[in-house]
Amino acid sequence: MASDTPGPLRRLKHLLFGEPIPTARAHHERLGIATGLPVFASDNLSSSAYANESILSVLVLYSATLAGLQLWLALSIALLIGIVAWSYKQTIFAYPGGGGSYIVASDTLGETPGLIAGAALMIDYVLTVSVSVAAGVAALVSAFPSLHELLVPISVVCIAVIAFGNLRGVRESGALFSMPTYGFLVAMLLLLVFGVVKAIGTPIGAQTILAEPGAIGSEASFPLIFIILRSFAAGCTALTGIEAVSNGVPAFRPPEARNASRTLIIMAAILTVLFLGLGYITQHLPQIELYATKNPEYSTLVSQIASWTFGAASVGFYFVQFATAAILILAANTSFMDFPRLSSLLARDGYLPRPLARQGDRLVFQNGIIVLAIASAILVWAYHGELDQLLPLYAVGVFMAFTLSQAGMVAHWRKLKERGHGLSITINAIGTVITGAVTLVLLVTKFSEGAWIIAVLTAAFFFTFRAIKRRYASINAQLAEGMRSATQLQRHSVLLLVPRIHRGVLRAMDYAAGLHGEEVRALHVAINPKAVPALKADWDRHSPDIPLIVVESPFRSLIDPVLAYVDEMLEAHPDVTVTVIVPEAVPTKWYHRFLQENLAFQLKFALGGRKNVVVTNVRYFLD
How crowded is the C-beta side of 244, counted as CA atoms within 13 Å? 30
CATH class of 8-472: mainly alpha
Q: Which distant-in-sequence residues (6+ apart) come within 8 Å of 231 by Cβ?
A: 55, 58, 59, 69, 73
pLDDT at 2: 44
Whose CA is closest to 91, among 103, 75, 76?
Answer: 103
pLDDT average, residue stretch 135-156: 76
Give the integer Cα–Cα distance in Å for 328 and 158. 11
Residue 246 pLDDT greater than 80, yes or no: yes
Domain(s) of CATH 3.40.50.620: residues in the chain: 492-621
pLDDT at 259 over 90: yes
Percentage of the chain lying above the pLDDT 90 cut: 23
The pLDDT-based confidence of 171 (bands split at 50, 70, 90) is low
Residue type, 468: I
Give the per-residue SS3 of 452-521. HHHHHHHHHHHHHHHHHHHHHHHHHHHHHCCCCCCCCCCCEEEEEECCCCCHHHHHHHHHHHHCCCCEEE
- Pick from 35, 191, 49: nearest CA to 131: 49
Mean pLDDT within 19-48? 76
Instruction: Give the tens place of pLDDT for each residue, 48-63.
Output: 888 888 888 888 888 8
Q: Which amino acid is at 189?
A: L
CA pair distance 304, 285, nearest whole angstrom: 9
Q: What pLDDT sits at residue 392? A: 62
Q: What is the mean pLDDT of residues 278-295?
A: 79
User: pLDDT tier at 267 (50, 70, 90 boundaries)?
Assistant: very high
For residue 608, how many other CB atoms are within 10 A of its CB? 9
Domain with CATH 1.20.1740.10 in the chain: 8-472
Q: Using pLDDT thresholds of 50, 70 and 90, give the confidence band for residue 3.
A: very low
- Give the model's pLDDT for residue 376: 92
SS (H, E, C) 110-152: CHHHHHHHHHHHHHHHHHHHHHHHHHHHHHHHHHCHHHHHHHH
CA proximity to 355, closest of 363, 9, 365: 365
Superfamily of domain 492-621: HUPs (3.40.50.620)
Read off the pLDDT of residues 378-435 as tens digits, 9 standing for 90 and up. Answer: 988 887 776 556 666 677 888 888 899 889 989 988 888 777 678 888 888 988 998 8
Picking from 333, 430, 346, 385, the residue whose alpha carbon sits closest to that of residue 120 is: 346
CB 550 within 8 A of CB 466: no
The string of pLDDT tens digits covering residues 578-619 is 989 888 888 777 776 766 666 767 777 888 778 888 888 888
Binned at pLDDT 50, 70 and 90, residue 264 comes out as: very high
Residues 6 or more apart whose CB falls under 8 angstroms from that of 471 comprise: none
